Every structure is written in structure tokens, then in C-alpha cells.
Amino acid sequence: MSTLTDSIDEMVARRRPGYSLEQEFYTDPAIFDLDVERIFMRNWLYAGHVSRIAAPGDYFLFEVAGESIIIIRGSGGEVNALFNVCRHRGSRICLEGQGSVKRLVCPYHAWVYDTNGALIAARHMADDFERDQFGLHRCHVRVVEGLIFICAAAQPPDFTAIEADLQRFFAPYELADTRTATLLRHVVEANWKLVAENFFECYHCGHTHPEFCSVMSYGRAIDSPRLADEQAAFVAEWEAEMERRGYLTGHVEVSDERVHQCHRVPIRRGYLTQSEDGQPVAPLLGQLTEYDGGVSSAQLYPNIWFVACSDHAMLARFTPLSPTRTEAEFSWMVRGDAREGHDYDPERVSWLWRTTAAEDWAICEDNQRGVNSRRYQPGPYSRVEGSVDALLEWYLRQLSLYRPMSM
């Protein structure tokens, strides 16, 4: 282990600021294992929306890099996150991706657990068997605005700032009272960092995402001084109008101390929401009484992304499966009382990000194929890819910060 750590430290030390990483960071199984341990097992991860576990006993499985976590509604209404590993001999307990149960029963030897993970019954054990010492291992859980976050670390990072900013930017939409209009899962044949880098920059947007640029006015602004000036004037005008109406504007930027960013930006002149024609695709969310033509967004390290318009939201998570495979899950949310076919059409609600995501999968997979080449070497980022460089700086600090315990 020390040899591997020394090798990684050497690669980190020689990393040229403003450049992509060496090939091994995107391909090597040993580095991927460290990524899982030091990034995904130590930070807050978005697992899913509370509507997936509406009633006590409802559960779904959150799978990340070989680990399986049971996200389950407890008998008292609380949300629990339990490792899907029986404390007897290690069998998986829940075998289906989602369901509803009164108790968690291991299919191997029928050990029985409560929905909070406590061991209730274990047949034919010794008289001195201490049942209360063999509950399921737990993850820390935080639920904010209907979004379930979990952390597997013994001492998780502080969640206070994340919670406060998510509440500030997303409270008006009342996401806890939304339902899933449609859901998309896709396995991207690329390392999770290549997927993350793609979603933290828009350098590629102008020539890769014509649909996105037809909706979001900033999409092509970085490539044209004229469009940049027009965009700046539009943003200033929109922000002044929103402030006049008492609506939130502004942003929170990621920093060395903050692993998330939040923004409120306008869509495009005449556009009420992020739809193909800019017209509403669902009833207004939460406390909103009018379409404000804006969108709230949040991105969290390592790879979480939320977007909310006046009438729908998109919740995205990206979880590593292997060194060169990443699962993407997109959920589009509408009002909890909205009726499919009457109040909304799932295809219209999901059009923008479903189309954009398909284009992103292709470019991420092409990126991975190129990185796999013998001729790949780190390349320089542009002036408009600073957020990618910041992401990688954070990532490298995580690898260097946590040392393996001595054997």
C-alpha cells in the first residue's frame, strides 16, 4: 500500500496546475479503489428523493462501486441508510432494487432486522450472544428539501453550509412535495472524473449542445464578445427585476472550504422554463405564483447536480462502477399532485436535459477512448475551464489528505 501511495504522491506533486491528470488517474484500478475509499466513502452523496420511500418500510438500493446501501423509511417516518450486508455471514439482504417490507430478513439464514437496522431475531445462537451488538452497519443521513444525502464515513464532513445553501436556493420549489415525472439511468463508459469534468464546464457547449444553447442564453456567450455583452446586460436586467419582485438572485461559489456551488440565472428572453419552446410544461412548483424565467442550480463535489425551474426540477447523480464505467441517474420532478397526460407530458418535461445528456455520454466516452491511448498526455485547460481545475485540485487534496492506517 505504501508503494502505491508514494507513487500517487509523486504524480500529485508533478501535476502541472491548469492541466488534466495523468492517464493512470482515469484508468488504473488501484487508483479507482482509492477514489472509492477516499472520495465516495468519505463525502456526502446524494442517494435519491424522498418520494421513492413514501411509507414506512419502503426502500430502494443505492449502489456505488460495489457497495449496496439500503435507503429505507423507518417505522417512525425517519430515513435510514443501512449497509446491505448481513451481520451473520455477510449475505446481501435486499436483492431487489426497490420494494416495501415490514422487516429486513436475510434470505440466507433468516436473521431479521428492524427498519432501523437493529437485529430482532437470530435463530439458534449461543446463550451469551449479544443481539444488540449485531445491528446493520449504518451511514449518516441528512434530508434537505426532500433530497436524501448519505455519508459512510465514521465522522462525516460538516453538512451545515450545504444544507443552508440548498434551503436558500431551493426552498421556494418545495421539492419535498414533488413526484418523479420520469427517470433515466445510463451507464457511461468513462471514468467518473471525465464525467465530472464534462459537467463542470461549458467550454464544449457551443459546438456540442445546440439544443442547450437554443434554451440557455449563456451557452454561446463565451465564444463571442458581442453575445457576452448582451448576456451581461440581460442578466443585470433580469436580476434587477427579480429583486424588485422579492425573488432570490446571486450565487455561492465553490472554494477550498466549500464543496458546492449554487446559482440563480435567467434562461432566455421570452422563455418561462427550460422547455423546447420556452413555454410551461407542468404546473408551478411549491410557493411560486408565476413563472420567473429563471433557473436555480447546485453542483456538489464529487459529482452531484440539481436544476430547478418554475415548473419542474432535474436531479442528477453520478456514481462510479469501475475505472471506466459510471452510472448516471436523472430524475425529473413535478408537483406531487400533477397528473401525467393532463398536467404534464414526461417527454416535454425531460426534453432539454435528456437530449443534452445523450450528447454528453457520447463525448465522455470518446474522451475515455482517447485517454486510453498510448499517446495521451495531460493537456492545458482553457481560460473558461477554471471550475474543472478547481475540481481536480480538490480531488488531489483528498487523495493526499487521507493516509492508510499502518498495518
The answer to whether the bond into 56 is cis (omega within 30° of 0) is: no
At what angle are helices 192-199 and 386-401 packed, to 10 degrees? 140
Amino acid at 131: R
d(CA 379, CA 16): 10
Cα atoms in the 13 Å half-sphere on the side-chain side of 387:
19
Task: List the CATH number of the domain containing 356.
Answer: 3.90.380.10
d(CA 32, CA 275): 37
Query: Does pTM top 0.75 for this prediction?
Result: yes
- What are the grid coordinates assigned to 30, written together? 488501484
* Contact between 166 and 175 (Cβ < 8 Å): no
* Contact between 195 and 318 (Cβ < 8 Å): yes
Q: Give a yes or no: residue 207 inside a domain.
A: yes
- What are the grid coordinates assigned to 263, written together? 446559482
Q: Give a yes or no: residue 269 inside a domain.
A: yes
Residue 193 and residue 164 share a domain: yes
Partners of 306 in the β-ladder: 298, 315
**Number of structural domains in the chain:** 2
Q: What pLDDT is recorded for position 345?
A: 98
pLDDT tens-digit series, residues 320-345: 999 999 999 999 999 999 999 999 99
Q: Give a yes or no: residue 227 inside a domain.
A: yes
DSSP state of 291: -
Q: Cell numbers 427585476 label which residue?
A: 241
Nearest to 24 by CA among 187, 248, 193, 197: 193
- What are the grid coordinates assigned to 42, written together? 468519505
Neighbouring residues of 183: CB distance < 8 A, sequence distance ≥ 6? 329, 330, 331, 332
Residue 172 and residue 137 share a domain: no
Q: What pLDDT is recorded for position 407?
A: 27
Residue ranges of the chain whose pLDDT lies below 50: 1, 402-407
Q: Give a yes or no: residue 361 inside a domain.
A: yes
User: Distance from CA of residue 314 to its chain's centroid?
Assistant: 11
Q: Give a yes or no: residue 308 inside a domain.
A: yes
Nearest to 304 by CA among 320, 288, 286: 320
d(CA 329, CA 325): 13
Q: Give a yes or no: residue 102 inside a domain.
A: yes
Residue 140 and residue 171 share a domain: no
Task: List the CATH number of the domain containing 88.
Answer: 2.102.10.10
pLDDT tens-digit series, residues 54-111: 999 999 999 998 999 999 999 999 999 999 999 999 999 999 999 999 999 999 999 9
Range of the domain at 325: 160-371
Residue 353 and residue 204 share a domain: yes
* Contact between 153 and 42 (Cβ < 8 Å): yes
Q: Give a yes or no: residue 76 inside a domain.
A: yes
Residue 347 and residue 223 share a domain: yes
Q: Give a yes or no: residue 303 inside a domain.
A: yes
Residue 135 and residue 166 share a domain: no
Give the CA distances from residue 363 to residues 105, 271, 307, 338, in Å, rounded to whole numbers and listed in that order. Answer: 43, 28, 22, 35
